């Protein structure tokens, strides 16, 4: 069954390049980015995994753990990791789930048979500290994802979780943010200071610096 925003991220136990994990225990109270790729030893996937490894410092700053998956074996993942490091300049520094029997792929609806019957599509799940699914993305095999966008969404999700702020179209960190409709004008003033309200429902404040 498809996984929807607000669902609890299904738990599973699976082998990974860093040993067997039980997902909820491994994740604990961090944020997580669980993403699938179609196949090891393929070009687009090689670039995606290398770039995700480069983002480790950014993920760590945000208390985010990344974890990859394909229907290849852990042995294949280990063999491929050398190519990723050699061609992308960064060693893979997050676990990759080996899922040849498709247990996790089926649990997360990562195989879309009308696109490809045998391998996972490019799924992304951002999961909060409460294990709730906060974002889902699905890309086709031929299009590499933008992991900077995944980070940008995590920044927005964390602003919402921590400060009840929302983010406008094309927002980038540092840009003005929007006070959530659930916050009254009085509370908004108390918490964020003066706001700019071109409409009563559209209230901008400067991005918090803390």
Question: What amino acid positions are annotated as catalytic residues?
Answer: 45
Residues 40-79 that bind ligand BEZ (CB under 6 A): 42-45
168-193 burial string, b = 16+ CB within 10 Å, else e?
eeebeeeeebbbeeebeeeebeeebe
Which residue lies nearer to ligand BEZ by CB, 145 or 203? 145
Distance between CA atoms of residues 193 and 189, nearest Å: 4
Which residue lies nearer to ligand BEZ by CB, 45 or 96? 45
Residues 22-41 that bind ligand BEZ (CB under 6 A): 38-39
Which residue lies nearer to ligand BEZ by CB, 3 or 44? 44
Answer for the pair 27, 131: CB distance below 8 angstroms, yes or no: yes
Smallest gap from residue 116 Cβ to ligand BEZ (A): 8
Smallest gap from residue 136 Cβ to ligand BEZ (A): 20
Which residue lies nearer to ligand BEZ by CB, 142 or 182? 142
Q: How many residues bind ligand BEZ (CB under 6 A)?
A: 8
**Of 115, 143, 130, 126, which Cα lies nearest the Cα of 48?**
143
Query: With binding defined as CB under 6 A, does residue 19 bind ligand BEZ?
Result: no
Smallest gap from residue 37 Cβ to ligand BEZ (A): 7
Answer for the pair 24, 30: CB distance below 8 angstroms, yes or no: no
Query: With binding defined as CB under 6 A, does residue 142 bind ligand BEZ?
Result: yes
Distance between CA atoms of residues 4 and 14, nearest Å: 22
SS3 content of the chain, % helix, strand, coil (to 5): 30, 25, 45
Pair of tokens at residue 152: 């940008």
Query: With binding defined as CB under 6 A, does residue 21 bind ligand BEZ?
Result: no
Binding-site ranges for ligand BEZ (CB under 6 A):
38-39, 42-45, 141-142
């Amino acid at each position: 069954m498809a996984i929807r925003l607000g669902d609890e991220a299904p738990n599973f136990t699976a082998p990974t390049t860093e040993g067997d994990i039980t997902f909820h225990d491994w994740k604990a109270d961090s944020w997580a980015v669980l993403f699938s790729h179609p196949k090891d030893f393929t070009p687009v996937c090689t670039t995606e995994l290398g770039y995700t490894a480069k983002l480790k410092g950014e993920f760590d700053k945000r208390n985010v753990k990344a974890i990859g998956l394909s229907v290849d074996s852990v042995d294949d993942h280990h063999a491929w990791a050398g190519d990723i490091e050699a061609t992308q300049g960064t060693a893979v520094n997050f676990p990759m789930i080996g899922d040849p029997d498709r247990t996790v792929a089926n649990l997360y609806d990562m195989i879309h048979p009308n696109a490809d019957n045998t391998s996972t599509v490019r799924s992304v799940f951002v999961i909060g500290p409460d294990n709730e699914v906060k974002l889902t993305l699905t890309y086709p095999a031929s299009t590499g994802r933008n992991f900077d966008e995944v980070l940008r969404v995590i920044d927005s999700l964390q602003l919402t979780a921590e400060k009840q702020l929302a983010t406008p179209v094309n927002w980038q960190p540092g840009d003005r943010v929007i006070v959530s409709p659930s916050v009254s004008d009085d509370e908004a003033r108390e918490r964020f200071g003066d706001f700019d309200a071109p409409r009563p429902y559209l209230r901008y404040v400067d991005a918090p610096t803390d």
